[in-house]
Structure formats: C-alpha cells, structure tokens
Structure 1
C-alpha cells in the first residue's frame, strides 16, 4: 500500500497496521523482554518489540521521517542533547517547556553545554543564533505562551535545528518539511490523548542520526513500555478527529475569552487545542483554577478532558506572566466549557 496516496487523516488510521492474511487487524500488545534465539530479535531493550515498531512506523509516516520511541518526552529530549559534544552552544526560547530548559540549565551548570535564551518574537536574534550556535531548540507554538516562531527561516541557518512539535502535532505542522533536522514529541500529550501513558518520540530524515538516537536509547535504557506503545498507537488512530474537534472548540472559546472583562489578554495562534489567557494577577488565576467545576486543574495537557494550570506557580516558570493560565481544550461540549469559564471568571 502506497501511503502517499492517502490523506494524513487516513494515514493515521492505517499506518503501522498488520497487512498480511491471517494477521490481527491491530498490532497486539507485546509484553516481552526477550525472545527465542535464532532470529534478529533477542532482547527488547536492544532490538525493540513489534508494538514499538508499529507505533514508530505510524508516527514516522505522519511526520515524514524515521521515528524512535522513548520512555518519555524528557527521555527523547535528553537523547538529542546527549549527542552534542562537550562545549556545544544551544539556543532555546525564553518561554518554553520548563523540563527542557531545566535539562539545558543543568548541562550549562556542569560546563557541558553553553545555553542562550532567546525571546520568541525576536526574529533577528533567532536568525543570528541559527548561524552562531551549534543547535537551535524551538517550540512553535511555545509552551506556555503560544508564541509562533518561523521554523523555515531559522532552518536556513547553519545550526542543527530541533523542533518540539508536541502542541501542533504532525497534523498541524511538519517541521522536517520546513527544514528541521529533528522533531521531538511528548506523545504523553495529544498523540496519546487520554492522560494514561508516558512516551516520547524523535523523528528525523537522516538515517545515520536516527541510528545514533536509537543507540542512545539502548545505551541509556530509555525504552518505552509495551503497554505505553500500544496505547500511544491506539491514541494516534483517533488524533485527527480529536484534534479537529478540540481545535474548533478552542477557536470558539478563544474568541469569547477575548471579550470577557476579567481577561486581560488571550494568546491563541489561530489553530490547535491550546489557549493561554491572562487574568489580573496570580491570585486571580489561582482562584480561577480552583474554581472550575468541569475543567480540570492538572499539570499535563492534550487529553480528552479540558485542563488548566497557572504555569508561573511552578518551579522553573516564575518568569511567565503571573496571571497566565494555560488552557488545554478537550472534547467536552463547547457550551458546557464556556458556561464553566464564564461562571468562574465572573
């Protein structure tokens, strides 16, 4: 089957699926650490399992590259940074995932890496950095401020470009097609979609780089669990419909929030399931997060349930505007969500 003939929505359903006569329709869960001798597969940490590979095949088709699954998004991030030589220089957005910045700060503190933080909207600085540093780490949209950075422009620089595509997903944008060298996902979020797994992924078109990432996974033991890979693949199958539905609701709610008197600013990039809105101060944002009845107050995002979090209250994100609430829009009825928002904010 030539998957290039089908739309991304169809690819999400059919990629990585067994096709031979007599095989199961879905890739079965493979809870095995080792295998009978005599084949190429001996030990799962080194050789993988059919479950990992099916998920990697499917996501690789959607992103347009060679995917490698890891135990978590942070494990995938650490694997990419682990390939850099000592003393390498990395540029990262000022507003970006705190876990990534924490890992970079630790590497800078030990002298392993040099790190420069760049304001997301400082295009000229990004273009300079793309020619001056060794690796540019982008998020677009950024977490949690939802700033959009011109990936294609930064990709024209000499630096290696890594893009965390967790918020946009491969259905929202394909950074490899824009010139990125590596794409990283926390599949824990929208790809899994049900807040029930931890999984990370890297994707690259460079076969040599893909092998180095796999070797790093093997060496560090950062392998995904069998159940997690199974659930992530199942979640990927419904990503197109979940993303479309939640994005339509997010667009509606962003417009309404912009007109609410208690909301000082709405950050919404025009598509996707994430909204950031700012209230008067941190105390107001904390009251709102505690006051919602339908919307969940929780730290992660991308699930079928809507959730909120005041990121400035967390370690590593104190520089985020104090009243900013990161809002992950789920699959509830949009009018029910608006009723909860309006009642709480008023």
Structure 2
C-alpha cells in the first residue's frame, strides 16, 4: 500500500494519522493496549516508558503541530514537566492572565526558592521583551495566546525572536487556539503545551495533557521531557489516550461548528444592554463578555441558563460558562463581571435564546428591573 504524502491538510491528518497498517482484516483503529509489562529486549520494556496507544495519539498531534508529541496524565503534568527543565534559581516570564494552574505552579516553585517569575501583559511585546532583558537569569518565556480568560493575543514570532536572542527558551500553551488555528513551532516556539482535556478530546470525559517539540534529529528537549515523564511517572492511561485520539478525529468539524457559533454569539452579545464589553479574538470557540452589572450580574447569568451548563473547564461539544472571578486565585485585573463562555456545537439559535433570557435576569441588576 503506498504511503500517504506529507502535503495533507490538517483535517485529513486528524483522520488518517496514527492508524494501523492497511493489511487484510486489520482493524482501522489502533487497539487499546492494556499492558504494564512487555517482553524484554524491545524498545519499551515497561509500561512507564511507552505504550502503542500513546504512540498513535502522539503521531496525530505531532503531525498537526509539526513536531514530536508526548502524552501526559494531565495538562498540569505536562506544564510542570516543562517547568522542571528550568534550572535552580533561574527566571521565568509568563502572562499575568493565564491558566490558573500554570500561575499557581509558578508561585509554588517560587515560594520554595526553585525559580523566580515575572508576570507581564503578554500582549505588550515591548514589556515582555523588557522583562526578559531585565533578568540576567531568565531561562523561559511562557506564552498563552489567546490568554485564559482575558483572550489577549501575543505576537508569538516577535516574542520568540526576542527570547532566542537572549538565550531564552519559548513555550506556548496552544490549548485555546488548537493546532488548527495556529502552530506555534512554525512561529518560533520551542515547546507547545496542550491540555488535551479541552478541545483535542472534546467530550468532557478525559483528563490528559501533551507536549510537542520541534523534530530535528536527536532532539535534546524531547529527550529531556520524555526522561522527566518516565522518571516522574506522569503517564496517561491507555483508555484515556484512546478516547483523546478518538476525539482528535473530529476536531476539525467540531471546531468549525463551535467557532461559527462563537462568532455569532459574540456579534449578538455586542448589542445587548447587559454587556459592557465583548472579548473575542476573532477565532476559536471561547467568548468572554464582561457584564455591566459586575459580579452580581455574572452570577445571575450563570444561574439562569437552562441549556448552557455552569461548569469550569471548556472545549467540549456542550456549551459551558462560568464567572472566572469566583475563583480566589483569579487575578484582580480580570473584571468581576467577565463570564467565560465555551461555545459548543449545539444549534446557535437555541444557544442564543437560552443566553438571552438569562441576560434579561442579569440586566435587572444594572437597570433595576
């Protein structure tokens, strides 16, 4: 059977990569390999070092991102593995608005004297560059774009160039954009982080993380990250990885529908009297309206929806929402009335009807209704 070429579109790669060889009576899908032990003298030897189910998932994600992927037990397991590469006492520059777990991990490491961090407005390229230049021990630039939950965009190529000129490694959390909207490795990043729990898996039933590195021969970064995964045991379960792989197969069609819904929801929110501001970067399925009535209005909104689910996390086929400042660790620079909407694949008219009736309750806070 001839091999597929390397000029396939991402939608085709998502469907075709990571498949078993096309042999008579072969299964189309890779099996779930439930094994802790392998026969000796092979490449794996033990279940902490590898699994064919991981390999299939890593093949698909790696090809979508243009590099080599490693699956982890969670997004935070992947993120903290990257932070393990930062030397003792070295510096990290990271977004002030970012996934709470990432910021909290940095704070924990700083409190124990492992490293020091500077939190910056990642959309201000000059300020980010200045923060790296001001720290002679800076070793890592962490980028989110769009940021969670403020939806700010970073100039990844400019920041990567500035970081590399200073000898600083560049990491991009690509969870919100997914590799269908941007491929950070092609923009200059050294490592890409995913919470595969979100859009990649897409069905709110998996906790999984991943890292992707560029693919030169004998990549030292990939080897170091895999070594940390092997040693710390931050490995995913085969069943979870298989579910994530199954989710990847439909990423392009799910995201196409969710993104179309999100754009229309953002457009309608902009005209609603209960909404003071709408944050939407123009792509992706996350929209963040800021309600004029602040925290009370945001809480009312989340309590009055019937179709939208009040829940944390995001990226599933179902639409969810939450007021982010309900979490104590959320930065004070995030508006009290910001509600993060993860727009799913339901009919957009149903989504809007439910949101509109809930906004009427929220609007009462602002206008005394």
- What is the TM-score normalised by the length of structure 2? 0.91
Aligned to 2:58: 56
Q: After TM superposition, list the pairs within 5 Å mapping 1:301-320 onto structure 2.
A: 301-319=314-332, 320=334
Q: Gaps spanning 5+ residues in structure 2: where?
A: 361-369
| Deviations 1:36-82, CA, capped at 9 Å, x for gaps | 33433321102x11100000011000000010000000000000000
Aligned to 2:89: 87
Aligned to 2:170: 161
| Residue 71 (structure 1) aligned with residue 80 (structure 2) | no
Question: How many aligned positions are there?
Answer: 345
**TM-superposed deviation, 1:120:** 3.0
Q: Distance in 2 between matches of 1:179 and 1:292?
A: 42
**TM-superposed deviation, 1:318:** 4.5
Aligned to 1:286: 299
SS of equivalent residue, structure 1 residue 19: coil
Query: Contact 1:130–1:155 (CA<8 Å) still a contact in 2?
Result: no
Aligned to 1:26: 29
- What is the TM-score normalised by the length of structure 1? 0.97
SS of equivalent residue, structure 1 residue 40: coil
SS of equivalent residue, structure 1 residue 156: helix
* Runs of 4+ that moved beyond 4 A: none
Q: Gaps spanning 5+ residues in structure 1: where?
A: none
Change (3 A) 1:39 1:18: same
Q: After TM superposition, list the pairs within 5 Å mapping 1:91-102 onto structure 2.
A: 91-102=93-104
| Residue 178 (structure 1) aligned with residue 187 (structure 2) | yes
Q: Distance in 1 between matches of 2:187 and 2:4?
A: 23
Q: Distance in 1 between matches of 2:44 and 2:76?
A: 27
State the superposition RMSD in angstroms.
1.1
Q: Distance in 2 between matches of 1:9 and 1:296?
A: 29
User: Which structure has the greater CA radius of gyration?
Assistant: 2
**TM-superposed deviation, 1:123:** 2.2
Query: Contact 1:127–1:153 (CA<8 Å) still a contact in 2?
Result: no
Query: Contact 1:162–1:180 (CA<8 Å) still a contact in 2?
Result: yes
Aligned to 2:363: none
Structure 1 residue corresponding to 2:196, chosen from 176, 180, 187: 187
**TM-superposed deviation, 1:208:** 1.1
Structure 1, 311-320 or 73-82: larger mean CA deviation: 311-320
Query: Contact 1:3–1:15 (CA<8 Å) still a contact in 2?
Result: no
Query: Contact 1:93–1:118 (CA<8 Å) still a contact in 2?
Result: yes
| Residue 299 (structure 1) aligned with residue 308 (structure 2) | no
Q: After TM superposition, list the pairs within 5 Å mapping 1:102-251 onto structure 2.
A: 102-131=104-133, 132=135, 133-157=138-162, 158=166, 159-205=168-214, 207-251=219-263
Structure 1, 35-44 or 291-300: larger mean CA deviation: 35-44
**TM-superposed deviation, 1:122:** 2.2
Change (3 A) 1:40 1:120: closer
